[in-house]
Copies of this chain bind each other. A is one copy, B any other.
Amino acid sequence: MIDSIRSALLTDLYQLTMLQGYVQHGMEGTAVFEFFVRRLPPQRRFLVAAGVEQVLTFLEGLRFTPEELEWLDGTGRFQPQFLDYLSRLRFTGDVDALPEGTVFFADEPVLRVTAPLPQAQLVESRLINLLHLQILVASKAARCVLAGPDKLLVDFGLRRAHGAEAALLAARAGYLAGLAGTATVAAGLLFDIPLYGTMAHSFVEAHEDELLAFEHFAYANPGSVVLLLDTYDTEAAARKAARLAPRLRSRGIALKGVRIDSGDLAEHARRVRRILDEAGLGELSIFASGGIDEHLIAEHRRQGVPIDGYGVGTLLDTSADAPYLDCAYKLMEYGGRPRRKRSEGKATWPGRKQVWRRRDEAGLLLGDAVALEEEGGEGEALLRPAMRGGHRVEAPEPLEALRRRAARELEALPPPLRELAPGEGGYPVTISPGLQALARELDERTA
């Protein structure tokens, strides 16, 4: 059995056949690859860097196991000298990256790998796989946070995330971007993310009586009683919750809230709020779930709907309105010479780059410049050393620190970038004169 999270075989076949070519022809010089997003989806005005930590862990542990090498041998595609090379392969290169939680835009390198060509090439597939997913989810979660900064937002997406790793990394990316926590228990253990949960319809249905179900749940979980109201009739269930509250209180159990999961959430929330308030339960919060995204949260906020928190599931974890990014990991330099792909609609900016960001006095983002590393620039240099010679430059930042950075970044967004409607935020990202000149020069050379 291979380790399906860490395996070096989490790569495309062509990486291995290309490596065989590089190794056979002694092409082990230093290569520079950069990961970037070509174009933002129309549904996103900015993106949030995430997933760097998982990339570093993958690179640190990169090796082919004897079982994997034997299996590769059995495919008949690889020569013994090459398999021997693979058995010794480790990642010995450098990584520079945007710190997780940093806001970024199209054409800006998010992560750069500087390593012997075969190493830098091999890791392309998994590296994109890890960054792409977490950027997707962190960016979507950030929009939910912008839509409801005062709401308790919880990731409910495990069931419809695309597989287990997607669910776990979505919980991480969502928390990093500012959600309050997740319902996914394993993510609590893996990443120390706060866990939230209520109860399901099946719990109510398994009892002959809804009120009895509420009582049973409360007695079993006295510290966190959130009752689900919409199994049969939402308002009737709210009245049962109101009747139950004093009885529970007399046993030292405090109801924390209720959840609504179907129908017109706004209308039900208003009615339930009234029922609870009239019963003197103003402190009980109303939590909603089912088809939640940033647009619904924003609409509820505009209407003053009395919903205190949301379970954001499917539409967040699958980034349903933009389920993929046009991103790439491209060769920018090899053997000391810059490289440029000119494929139609997919041309790349060559060379080792840095992103420079300018801010106003209040810290608000003013504009970015992408420049060749040696050009320098104005403002803050965003790409920072993350790995040197295959070793991390520093211990992993705690997730809480990444979360604080993301919160600061969201606060620094100029108003047009905070809009949720599709469209560009008009944020200026300029390409430096040196970079433009180099691209022209390379085009002339290879024309």
Interface residues of A (CB under 8 A from B): 2, 4-5, 7, 9-18, 20-25, 27, 31, 33, 68, 71-72, 75-77, 117, 121, 124-126, 128-130, 132-133, 136, 156, 158-170, 183-186, 188-190, 195-203, 205-207, 216-217, 219-221, 223-224, 230-233, 261-264, 314-315, 318-320, 323-325, 327, 330-331, 334-335, 339-346, 446
Contacts and interface: CB of A to CB of B under 8 A. Distances in A.
How many subunits of this chain does the assembly comprise? 2
Given A189-B71, A206-B117, A221 B340 contact: no
Given A189-B71, A220-B20, A341-B231, A12 B202 contact: no
Closest 6 CB pairs of A and B: A13-B197, A163-B165, A162-B162, A21-B220, A263-B344, A14-B197
Nearest to A330: B202
Given A160-B324, A232-B446, A341-B201, A10 B186 contact: yes
A317 to B, nearest CB: 8
A263 B206 CA distance: 57
A66 to B, nearest CB: 13
23 contacts: A9-B188, A12-B184, A13-B184, A13-B195, A14-B183, A14-B197, A24-B216, A24-B219, A68-B189, A121-B203, A125-B158, A125-B184, A128-B160, A129-B160, A129-B163, A129-B167, A130-B163, A162-B318, A201-B330, A205-B339, A206-B331, A231-B343, A315-B324
A55 to B, nearest CB: 13
B166 A162 contact: yes
A2 B186 contact: yes
A395 B385 CA distance: 51
A168 B5 CA distance: 10
A322 to B, nearest CB: 9
A205 B18 contact: no
Contact of A202 (B33, B165, B446): B33
Contacts of A16: 185, 197
B343 A216 contact: no
A95 B220 CA distance: 29
A426 to B, nearest CB: 27
Contacts of A261: 343, 346
A342 B232 contact: yes
Contacts of A339: 202, 205-206
Contacts of A320: 323-324
Nearest to A268: B344
Given A71-B189, A205-B331, A345-B263, A199 B14 contact: yes
A168 B350 CA distance: 33
B188 A75 contact: yes
Contacts of A446: 232
A56 B5 CA distance: 21
Contacts of A200: 14-15, 18, 121, 124
Given A21-B219, A24-B219, 19 more contacts: A10-B184, A15-B200, A17-B197, A17-B224, A21-B220, A22-B203, A75-B188, A121-B203, A125-B184, A128-B160, A129-B160, A129-B163, A163-B166, A165-B165, A202-B330, A206-B331, A231-B343, A264-B344, A318-B323
